[in-house]
Each structure stands twice: as structure tokens, then as C-alpha cells.
Amino acid sequence: MVNQESQFATAQGSVAFLLVYTKYFGIMIKPFKKPIFVTRPFLPPIEEFSAGLQEIWDNQWLTNEGPVLQRFSRQLSQQCDTDNVCLFTNGTLALQIGLQGLGITGEVITTPFTFVATTHALYWNKIRPVFVDIEPDYYTLDPDKVEAAITPWTTAILAVHVFGYPCKLDELADIARRHNLKLIYDAAHAFGVTVDGKQISHFGDMSMFSFHATKLYHSLEGGMLIFQDDGLKSTFDYLKNFGFKNEVEVVMPGTNAKMNEMQALMGILVLKHLDDLIEKGRVIEAMYRERLAEVPGIHFPPELTANIRYNYAYMPIEVNEKEFGMSRDMLYEKLREYNVFARKYFYPLVTDFACYKNVQTRDSLTVANGVADRILCLPTYYDLAIDSIERICEIIIKSSSGI
């Protein structure tokens, strides 16, 4: 027979433990059963994709400017309010071809705080990247630092609307105009963003958009160039199709970078939901901002001004180790323990990758280095449940108290 006194003592001990636990740690948070990734592609109803596939089967036309791609291209023209649209198999090749078609050579001023494809596109065109620091609010190229980096070899500025945040458009345009430089935007993250009611593609000489599966808006994989000079359309069309002008004429050494019919089909189907995707992103961001507002050491980019319609493609926060009590890397690991896979976009900086480490940089890149050490992109995507966001915020709040 179990001694009643010791049973009581055990029960008392458990209650005390629970009280202490609840006092200091609150209710225990369970790890997610399924992984929560930084993003998940939005998928249209499968019946719609099947119906579209049937059309492709009936056409027996799979790539090379097929009818679905032409339809997609017309829709994007309408969406972006221009005829100067060219579609590609991915954003990287779009940018590479864009730089080539624009005839960019020598040196290009660019940002180290980006996905490495931005710099690769320069490298593949034998262009020297000149890295300049970013501004601390939205992590875009700092116009104040651009001018000092211009040399007689500079031909262009390649800035990135990183996380979909518009660059300092007026300042960059002014510098480009005064120095007779091309202004090119890597708008991989920025589809759907508008400024003063104009599509973001309206700004600069050319913008590249990525329609990769991880993007807010996608076409499985895909890329798009929007450009101001009407004359470039045929050049881009040649360059993405081996340089063919017709069956018997090759007018330039092109490559193969064509978008296929399945990609175009997905693009058409997802485009119908763009507004819903943006709206859900807005709700998610508002929730993160509200729940984490009082957490010391968690910093959000400032709210955007009313003239910008943002697309909520990413949810970056900065973790200040001293204030939060845990470094960004520790929080990243802690979230993983709960099956939450936030991402350190964009750490390391491009300038820290082995293939670009030796590129000489005159700028000390102080802001970019600091941001790269503090940045963390939290999960945001259409299917992310509201109570999952609650739980992610709880984990972050509890982490700040040291569990």
C-alpha cells in the first residue's frame, strides 16, 4: 500500500512545480506537428490546372511561345500597364539577358544584401560588381553612397527592391540621370507593388521579376522583364531563343531561356488570386507586428508610407541580441526546435561568399553587415493559419524570457 503522506507530498510538489512553471514560462508550447516553412507556394484548385493541361494536350504545344504563354503575356501586359513585357524560364536568366540586351559593361553599382543571383547575373555578363551599402530602414541600396562609387567605368546601377520594399526611386533616378547611367531594378520580390498608383515596374530602365515557387506570386518557376525602350523587345526575344529571327536567320548568339506552357498556365491561374494573396499577407504582417510590438529586441521595418501598396511577400524582423536576450542565430535554432523554419535572408552577404570574397569593396558595408547578422524572415504565406502565427509569436515571446 502506498503511503498517503508521501502521495500528498508528491501531489503538492507537482502543483508547486506547475505554479512555478506557469509563473515563469506560461502554458507549455507544443512544437508544430508538421514543419512550418518560411513560405509555401499558393496552389490554385487542381481541377483548374487539370482543365488547363487538357487544353495544352489538345494543342500539343508545350513551349516556344505557345498559345497559353501568349495569353499569359497579354494578361501581364495589362497588369503592368505596358506592352514591353518579356517572359523567361526563371528570374536569373531574365536578369542575365536583360543586362546583355541593354549592353551593360564595365562596372555596375549594386547591393550585397540580396539573393546571390543578382550578382551572378552581372558575373555571367563579365561585369564587375561594385558593392555599396544599404539604408537601415528597408535594406535597399543607399543612394547617398552610390555617387561616391561611380567611376569612368560605371555603366549602370542595379538596385534590389529587397523583400518587395521599393528602393529610393527618386534619388536613384536622379543619380542615374545626372551620370548618364542605366537604372536597373531586381524586382524579384516586388510583383504587385505599386507606388503612387503606378506599378513598380514603371520605374527605372528595366525591372526583373521572379515567378519562382517561393515567391508571393509564382508560375512554378519563371521570370519577367519589363522595360521602357520599345526597341529592346525583339532583342530579348532573340536572346532567349538562341538568337533565331526566323527559321534560317540567327541574328545574335542567344541562349535558351523560354518559359513553357505549364509555367504560363500556373501563372494565369495564380494571377487571379493576386489580390487575395496580398490581403492575406497584410493580415499576417499586422498580426506579427501587433503580437510582437512589446517584445524588447524585436524590430520591424517602419510602416510604409500611404503612397506605397506593398505586397507583403516577406516578414523580416531584426533581432537585437542585447535587448532580446538571445542572438538571431539562437532564435533561429529555437524556432527550429518547434518545427518552425524561419530563414536568415540575406545572410551571409553576397560579399562573404567564396566566389565574391575577393571582389574589392571600397565601401565598408557597415549597415549591410549589421543587418545580415540580425535579420530573420518569419513564415508568411497564404495557407498559414492564424493560430499558427499566434503560436510562432508565443515561441518568440517565451524565447525572450529564456526558455
Q: Are 102 and 184 in contact (CB under 8 A)?
A: yes
114-122, 232-240, 266-274, 389-397 -> range binding ligand T4K (CB under 6 A): 114-122
Q: Rule CB under 6 A: say whether 353 interacts with ligand T4K.
A: no
**Interaction between residue 120 and ligand T4K (CB under 6 A):** no
Pair 349, 380: CB distance under 8 Å? no
188 binds ligand T4K (CB under 6 A): yes
Question: Which residue lies nearer to ligand T4K by CB, 295 or 375?
Answer: 375
Burial of 276-297, coded b for 16+ CB within 10 Å and e otherwise, reads ebbebbeebbebbeebbeebeb
Residues 133 to 172: which contact ligand T4K by CB under 6 A? 160
Is residue 274 close enough to count as binding ligand T4K by CB under 6 A? no
| Among the listed residues 73, 84, 90, 154, the single contact to ligand T4K using CB under 6 A | 90
Q: How far is the CB of 12 from ligand T4K (least distance, A)?
A: 46
List, in sequence order, every beta strand (DSSP E) within 111-230.
128-131, 154-160, 182-186, 194-195, 198-199, 206-210, 223-227
Stretch that binds ligand T4K, among 34-42, 61-69, 105-113, 250-258 (CB under 6 A): 34-42
37 binds ligand T4K (CB under 6 A): yes
**41 near ligand T4K (CB under 6 A):** yes
Minimum distance from residue 349 beta carbon to ligand T4K (Å)? 13
Helix spans in 38-193 (H)? 46-59, 67-80, 91-101, 117-123, 143-146, 169-178
Contact between 98 and ligand T4K by CB under 6 A: the answer reads: no
- Cβ atoms of residues 96 and 121 within 8 Å: yes
CB 224 within 8 A of CB 211: yes
What are the distances in angstroms from CA 214 to CA 44, 219, 330, 400? Answer: 15, 10, 25, 29
- Residue span 313-352 as binding mask against ligand T4K, x where in contact by CB under 6 A, dash where not: ----------------------------x---x-------
Q: Does 114 bind ligand T4K (CB under 6 A)?
A: yes
Cα distances (Å, whole numbers) of residue 143 to 55, 187, 209? 48, 17, 22
Eight-class DSSP state of 244: E
Query: Which lies closer to ligand T4K via its Cβ, residue 213 or residue 397?
Result: 213
| Gyration radius of the chain's alpha carbons | 24
Question: According to the binding rule CB under 6 A, does residue 92 interact with ligand T4K?
Answer: yes
**Per-residue cell: 190:** 516586388
Position of minimal CB gap to ligand T4K: 91
Q: Applying CB under 6 A, which of residues 43, 53, 213, 274 lies at the interface with ligand T4K? A: 213
**Main-chain dihedrals φ then ψ at residue 108, nearest 5 degrees:** -130, 130
Q: Which DSSP category does 231 fall into?
A: T
Interaction mask 219-258, ligand T4K, x per CB under 6 A = ----x-----------------------------------
Interface residues with ligand T4K (CB under 6 A)? 37-41, 90-92, 114-115, 117-118, 160, 186, 188-189, 210, 212-214, 223, 341, 345
